[in-house]
């Protein structure tokens, strides 16, 4: 029953399941229980925030209460798969029933929340009851339409500078795109830097600060502030640097910055991404070149543009004796599973988005891959605004 049920989960609900496993591991528990599901909902954007706000339930107080009810295990857990407890399975059964009652086609996080409330015999249910959440208050708010994990997002106010690479051969950090960054940001800005793609945050932040000071801007690194989400609300722009895309996306989920940055970008805050920072601005990180050194809750990214990007795109070397797949072959394999267009950005080129206009800029060409069609070459400067009209 569970396998069939998971097929109906939205991406947001799937991320919730993955996050609950990570939380169980943090508590050194060898199982996934109802409290782990609720902690996952409260610890990352899950879609229930609007419900709790509408019902005037303090999510921070609920999180603190629930955390206080959970007791860590005695030993670290190394198992790659964790079983659901009987109580958690009961929650999922109730979730399915609540979804059916709401006449929803997909199972989202709010349906899981309803399952937690209905399945009363759990720590999570006790905490929800103490917070004043009852199924009678919740049911009128449950979604009953199409998959809410893929809403029609309004990106018409976005200002994005998506750079393929941070460093060009023979040049310094961001030197090859310095003019573009200066022109994009304009007058002096307070820039929030997100360093999570590399392990040494201090060193990375120092390198970025040197570059942005030379550009005439003030840069603060997210890892050096106690409240990154609050800092995000007061900054003028965001820069997310390159490194490992899986590590970056995982950190963005864990710090709750992913949706928060995307929301500000959709309201016009300038966003600059380089390499991994460019990857996370797209629909997903499925077309990154990086190794999955960590497992993020989902591959789903910010969806600031409705297509995929492959930074550092490399052309096949006709003289190479290497027998592995070329970059183009790997992207063709992506299209065997997905229909989303992929734009291969060679090192030296970048994209600038100003509302509904998308321009290819830089010194090298980009290669556009469309499912079932020959690849197309685009030479900067050129207008690629048609890509913004695409849908998943």
Sole residue written with tokens 């106010």: 157
Find out whether 286 and 369 touch, Cβ atoms under 8 Å: no
Rounded (to 5) percent helix, strand, coil in the chain: 40, 15, 45
DSSP 357: E
Domain boundaries, the chain: 2-141, 159-389
CA distance linking residue 66 with residue 196, whole number of Å: 28
Main-chain phi, psi angles of 351, to 5 degrees: -120, 140
CATH of domain 2-141: 1.10.1780.10
Nearest to 46 by CA among 11, 7, 82, 5: 11
Collapse the DSSP code of 100 into the 3-class scheme (helix H, G, I; strand E, B; otherwise coil) and give the result.
helix
Distance from the first to the final alpha carbon of the chain:
29
* CA–CA distance, 67 with 42 (Å, rounded to integer): 10
- Residue 390: the pLDDT is 66
pLDDT tens string for the chain (392 positions)? Answer: 555 567 778 888 888 888 899 999 999 999 999 999 999 998 876 668 778 877 888 888 999 999 999 888 888 887 768 999 999 999 999 998 888 777 777 888 889 999 999 998 899 999 999 999 999 888 877 754 333 334 456 898 999 999 999 999 889 999 999 999 999 999 999 999 999 999 999 999 999 999 999 999 999 999 999 899 999 999 999 999 999 999 999 999 888 899 899 999 999 999 999 999 999 999 999 999 999 999 887 888 999 999 999 999 998 877 777 767 889 999 999 999 888 999 999 999 999 999 999 999 999 999 999 988 999 999 999 999 999 986 43
Catalytic positions are: 275, 290, 312
Predicted TM-score (pTM) of the model is 0.65
Spatial contact of 36 and 20, defined as CB atoms under 8 Å apart: yes
> Own/partner pairs for 359-363, CB < 8 Å, 24+ apart?
359/383, 359/384, 359/385, 360/384, 361/180, 362/164, 362/177, 362/180, 363/176
Any alpha helices (H) in the chain, and if so which ranges?
A: 2-6, 11-26, 34-43, 49-54, 59-69, 86-101, 109-118, 123-131, 135-138, 178-185, 201-215, 228-234, 245-254, 257-266, 276-279, 327-337
- Which pLDDT belongs to residue 146? 36
Does the domain spanning 159-389 belong to CATH 3.40.50.720? Answer: no
310 neighbors 344 (Cβ within 8 angstroms): yes
Q: What is the pLDDT of residue 2?
A: 56
CA dist., res. 343 & res. 163, Å (int): 12
């Amino acid at each position: 029953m569970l396998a069939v049920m998971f097929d109906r989960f939205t991406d947001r609900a799937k991320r919730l399941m993955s996050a609950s496993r990570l939380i169980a591991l943090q508590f050194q528990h060898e199982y996934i229980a109802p409290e782990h599901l609720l902690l996952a909902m409260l610890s990352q954007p899950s879609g229930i925030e609007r419900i709790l706000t509408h019902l005037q339930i303090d999510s921070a107080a609920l999180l603190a209460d629930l955390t206080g009810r959970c007791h860590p295990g005695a030993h670290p857990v190394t198992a790659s798969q964790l079983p659901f407890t009987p109580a958690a399975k009961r929650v999922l059964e109730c979730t399915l029933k609540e979804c059916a009652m709401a006449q929803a086609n997909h199972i989202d996080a709010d349906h899981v929340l309803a399952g937690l409330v209905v399945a009363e015999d759990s720590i999570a249910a006790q905490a929800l009851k103490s917070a004043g959440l009852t199924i009678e208050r919740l049911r009128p708010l449950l979604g009953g339409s199409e998959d809410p994990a893929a809403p029609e997002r309004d990106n018409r106010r976005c200002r994005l500078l998506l750079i393929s690479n941070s460093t060009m051969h023979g040049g310094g950090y961001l030197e090859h795109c310095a003019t573009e960054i200066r022109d994009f940001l304009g007058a002096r800005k307070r820039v929030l830097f997100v360093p999570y793609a590399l392990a040494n945050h201090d060193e990375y932040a120092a390198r970025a600060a040197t570059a942005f000071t030379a550009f005439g801007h003030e840069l603060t690194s997210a890892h050096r502030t106690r409240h990154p989400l609050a800092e995000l609300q007061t900054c003028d722009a965001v820069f997310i640097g390159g490194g490992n895309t899986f590590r970056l996306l995982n950190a963005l989920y864990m710090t709750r910055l992913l949706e928060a940055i995307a929301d500000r970008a959709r309201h016009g805050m300038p966003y600059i991404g380089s390499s991994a920072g460019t990857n996370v601005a797209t629909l997903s990180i499925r077309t990154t070149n990086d190794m999955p050194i960590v497992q993020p809750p989902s591959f789903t990214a910010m969806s600031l543009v409705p297509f995929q990007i492959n930074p550092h795109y490399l052309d096949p070397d006709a003289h190479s004796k290497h027998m592995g797949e070329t970059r183009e072959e790997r992207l063709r394999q992506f299209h065997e599973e997905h229909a989303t267009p992929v734009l291969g950005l060679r090192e030296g080129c970048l994209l600038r988005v100003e509302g509904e206009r998308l321009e290819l800029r830089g010194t090298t060409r980009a290669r556009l891959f469309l499912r079932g069609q020959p690849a197309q070459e685009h030479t900067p400067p050129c207008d690629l605004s048609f890509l913004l009209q695409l849908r998943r």
